Structure 1
Amino acid sequence: MELLRVRIERAGYEERDDVVKDVGFALEAGRLVGLIGPNGAGKSTTIKAILGLIKLTKGEVSFCGPEGTYAYIPEHPILYEELTLWEHLELAAAAYGLTEERFRKRAEELLARFRLGDVRDHLTTSFSKGMQQKVMLVIGFLTKPDVYIVDEPFIGLDPKATKELLDTLNEERRRGAAILMSTHVLDTAERICDSFVLLNGGETVAQGDLEHIRRQCGKPGATLFECFHTLT
């Protein structure tokens, strides 16, 4: 079952409206798709176009799941200086219309999982970069949407937090959610992603599972890292 369908003919900005062109793919329930590419390849523009944040976008993006819901976990934490961790979660719950019972149960579970329970009443400005990134993960996982769009989630996370992130992503996949994940951590991407969209120069240069990517770059048995460097 498709939960997200993307067909971007072109997307960009006033100074250049074709930063991304002819990018198309679909996300199916329970699948994790890696959005891969070097810096400047168009990954961030693609994500912004999917989220409807770029005015100059031509194409079609459809969230076609049962609820049509999605969560975005950005690369750089976006937090309010005057709010505590718990107040951030309350704000997110109010925005998504979660019931108090559902919110509290899920929030407590996630705070325990990411080891943030002891700082729930602290201002997030006092947190390290890794802790702030974990706050964004907790907010993103709070609502259990149909689709997750995750941008460079491993930056700043320690090994234990990385494992908790991967475990939570796998739980959500088993629940039936679809995940689009942009990352530079290619060894992890190779291990966890079902398929890949490899961008370079704003265009798709390869797409499919690893075996298909290998065939497209003519390197049987190559790692994702090796394919990446061949194609970009």
Structure 2
Amino acid sequence: MYLTVDINEAGYAGNTNVLKDIRFSVGPGELVGLIGPNGAGKSSTIKSILGILKHVDGKVEVGDYAYIPERPIFYDRLTLWEHIDFLLSTLDVPEEEFKLEAKRLLEFFQLSQRIHHYPESFSKGMQQKVMLILAFLKKPDLYIIDEPFMGLDPNAVKKLLQLIADEKKRGAGILMSTHVLDTAEKICDRFVLISNGKLVLQGKLDEVQRDSGLREGSLFDCFDLLTERDSHAG
């Protein structure tokens, strides 16, 4: 497994626990969708995996990963190509192959003409593309992707899905947090549904349908029913 999450409780400063009994894993060549309502604990789960959430009772085992945040983060006054050069300096990879792949991805996302510009001046969609390029250049065992479709136009979404499919074939594992459930239903191998800070269910679509009682239901319908049921139970 590239990621194993076994959290009894987790939270922030003080005695406020926002997560309880969160247990799941991501293996090679597997795309796992992390889904749940706003405020359900998805971001806190990702923070616990990244080691940002310090108050964790439990264990998280994570391999070599690349993290793609919902809000792009860049170094001040570094151009797009300087970001790529900096990434290269942190990796033990052949420089020529790396730069060829960088140029391929820049062309793929139509950013070749912007390599000497500052990413902080880019549109949200262009910034998201830069984050994707930097992550896919790293070629990690595991991708942790937070709301990847935000700000991307349909053409860019299609290209992202193509890259995800290619990385799955390479054997990479992917944990993807998303609200875009119709797309998640089509591309994810399994789902982890979190509501009110706890794991409601996990499994393949047919298991989600079975547990929700909606044998022919869409992921959206199952999600809606299960989160409503959990809110009443809470």
TM-score class, shorter: over 0.9
Deviation at 1:185, TM superposition (A): 0.2
The match for 1:21 is: 20
Map 1:51-130 → 2, pairs under 5 A: 51-63=50-62, 68-130=63-125
SS at match of 2:38: coil
Q: Which amino acid aligns with 2:203?
A: G
**Secondary structure of 1:111's partner?**
helix
Alpha-carbon deviation of 1:95? 2.4
Inter-partner Cα distance in structure 1 for 2:91 and 2:7? 27
Instruction: After TM superposition, give the deviation of residue 17 of structure 1 in Å.
Output: 3.8
Tell me, in whole angstroms, the C-alpha distance in 1 between the residues paired with 2:100 and 2:137: 10
Corresponding position of 1:4? 3
Identify the range of structure 1 (120-129 vs 162-171) with the bigger mean alpha-carbon deviation: 120-129
Provide, for residues 56-108 of structure 1, a one-character-per-residue CA deviation record: whole Å limited to 9, x for no partner: 11211113xxxx31100000000123011011111122223443223212211
Equivalent of residue 175 in structure 2, options 173, 177, 180 = 180
How much has 1:137 moved relative to structure 2?
A: 0.4
Question: Equivalents in 1 of 2:61, 2:47: separation in Å?
Answer: 14
> Which of 211, 215, 226 is the equivalent residue of 1:231?
226
In the TM superposition, 1:122-201 aligns within 5 A as 122-201=117-196
CA displacement, residues 175-230 of structure 1 (integer Å, 9 cap, x when unaligned): 00000000000000000000100000000111100110111111111000001110
96-105 or 133-142: bigger deviation = 96-105
Which stretch of structure 1 is more off in the superposition, 212-221 or 149-158? 212-221
Give the letter for the 1:22 counterpart: D
1:99-148 C-alpha deviation (Å, 9 max, x unpaired): 32232122112111111111011111221010001000011111111000
Quote how far apart the aligned CAs of 1:15 are.
4.3
Give the Cα separation in 1 of the matches to 2:173 and 2:123: 29
Superposition TM-score, scaled by structure 1 size: 0.94
Letter in 2 for 1:174: K
Where does structure 1 lack aligned partners over 5 or more consecutive residues? none
What does residue 221 of structure 1 align with? Answer: 216
Q: Per the alignment, in what secondary structure is the counterpart of residue 142 of structure 1?
A: helix
SS at match of 2:2: strand
The alignment covers a number of residue pairs equal to: 227
For residues 26 and 16 of structure 2, the distance between their equivalents in structure 1, rounded to whole angstroms, comes to: 25
Cα distance between partner residues in 2 of 1:52 and 1:60: 11
> Are the aligned partners of 1:5 and 1:61 in contact in 2 as well (CA < 8 Å)?
yes
CA distance in 2, matches of 1:9, 1:126: 42
**Range with greater deviation from structure 2 (101-110 or 204-213):** 101-110
Secondary structure class of the residue paired with 2:179: coil
Report if aligned partners of 1:73, 1:136 keep a CA contact under 8 Å in 2. yes
Structure 1 residue runs of 4+, over 6 Å off?
none
- CA distance in structure 2 between the aligned counterparts of 1:172 and 1:206, rounded to whole angstroms: 26
Checking the alignment, whether the CA contact within 8 Å between 1:17 and 1:56 is kept in structure 2 is no
3-state SS, counterpart of residue 33 of structure 1: strand
Q: Over the residues paired in the alignment, what is the CA RMSD in angstroms?
A: 1.2
